[in-house]
Chain A
Amino acid sequence: MKSLALLALLAVSLPSLADRMPLPADTPASYKSECGSCHLAYPPALLAKKDWARTLSSLDRHFGSDATLDPKAQQEIGRFLERSAGDANKLGSAGEPPRISQTARFIRKHDEIPARYWRDPRVKSAANCEACHRGAADGRYSEHDIAIPELRR
């Protein structure tokens, strides 16, 4: 009983703003299919407007890959990322080319993770959110729901 009540309390106190980041309800299907094929369709709030714009303007040279879009998808995704982008002041600089994993906010949220985990074969890259955040595809980033047992809380 006691543990049940604790659990209930925990469940109420858990949902902090930062650990739930589902894609917005108005996310176009093209964003999920085009920007979610090689990696997670990242939450748009994790980069600032100008960084999304830079990402979209160089898709022919996208981290060594060709991620170009047809004009219709380019426009639809561009408008979506523009209206759903995050706050540049809170995120901090994303570097060049822009990376979510280089923003000050990302680095702060992950500063307790020992460096070796970013190169761990189970992870491969900081951009591989799903290697650690099992629920990332559904927008769940809780520190309790981490796939790597040593990093779970």
Chain B
Amino acid sequence: MRSLSILGLLLISLNSHAAPLSPPAQRGEAFFHQRFAVNDKMPACTACHTDNPLKPGQHAITGKTIQPLAVSANGERFSDPAKVEKWFGRNCKEVVGRACTADEKADFVAYMREVR
């Protein structure tokens, strides 16, 4: 019992002391939530990934479950550079309506690595 409540306390304090996002990660967060409205079924990243990258999402057209983007919720994310480039290529074209810049991609990855 005692150790349980200590654990609870620890968890609460950990949470309230969560490190603030770095400036690149903050820009990545804004990009993640931005409405591009180029594609009516997928106006923003959040159309498939939900507002919370720690949670699983759902493909806006096919309904398939999409595993979380945040590294803290899904350790496999951003570990395979070819896969990351492939999906930036597809999804920037579909959702943003153009290729993403190197800075936009770096900020996005920073956000997904830091958010917890």
Contact = CB atoms under 8 A, between A and B. Distances in A.
Contact of B90 (A39, A66, A123, A128): A66
Nearest to B61: A125
A83 B41 CA distance: 35
A66 B64 contact: no
Interface string A126-144: 0110110000000000000
Q: How many interface residues does chain B have, given as a range?
A: 10 to 19
B50 to A, nearest CB: 15
B95 to A, nearest CB: 11
A63 B64 contact: no
Contacts of A64: 39, 41, 61, 94
A38 B39 CA distance: 17
B94 A38 contact: no
A65 B62 CA distance: 11
Nearest to B60: A124
B75 interface: no
Contacts of B63: 123-125, 128, 130-131
B93 to A, nearest CB: 6
A124 B59 CA distance: 10
B8 interface: no
A63 B93 CA distance: 14
Contacts of B64: 38-40, 128, 130
A67 B61 CA distance: 14
B59 A39 contact: yes
A124 B61 contact: yes
B23 interface: no
A66 B94 CA distance: 8
A8 B16 CA distance: 55
A61 to B, nearest CB: 12
B61 A66 contact: no
A124 B64 CA distance: 10
Given A39-B64, A65-B61, A123-B63, 12 more contacts: A38-B59, A38-B62, A39-B62, A40-B64, A64-B39, A64-B61, A65-B90, A66-B89, A66-B94, A125-B61, A125-B62, A127-B62
12 contacts: A38-B59, A38-B62, A64-B39, A64-B41, A64-B94, A66-B89, A66-B93, A125-B62, A125-B63, A127-B62, A128-B62, A131-B63
